Structure 1
Amino acid sequence: MVLDAVAVTAFETVFPNMSPSAGSMFGGLLLLAYASVLLTGVVPLTYVQERTADPADPSSGTEVEVEGDGDAPGEG
């Protein structure tokens, strides 16, 4: 993101084959792209449902089976 800020500032030098008037459009597209990337990291997924315990179904509990003897590595 920092390098893109430099690329937009020095647009004519970094992209010599593009028209200088395309610099503002390029900057706007970068801003839109970064905003969408940041929003996808912040906005929670609404279509994912958590598995909850159902009293009628004994196999739908929220317990997680863990393999091993319970000792953390390095403890002895």
Structure 2
Amino acid sequence: MRTRRQGNDIVLTVPTKFGISENVEYIAVKGPDDSITFIKKEKNIFDEAAVKGEKLDATPGFPDDGRQT
């Protein structure tokens, strides 16, 4: 694979053999050795709840980690 310039962006074309669907958002993370890892972007349940005016309470679902607060 080779990068190419498209306007103000650098584009990396991913071959179809990787099985990635169209219009899927990814987050790119650059490592200390200039490697790049792509992570599929998931929906943010907190943002969705805020838009709906809902409040999320996750405390009952989290196990006690044993730390003193």
TM exceeding 0.5: no
- TM-score, normalization by structure 2: 0.23
TM-score (norm 1): 0.22
Higher CA-based Rg: 1
Query: Counting helix residues as a fraction of each chain, which structure ranks higher?
Result: 1
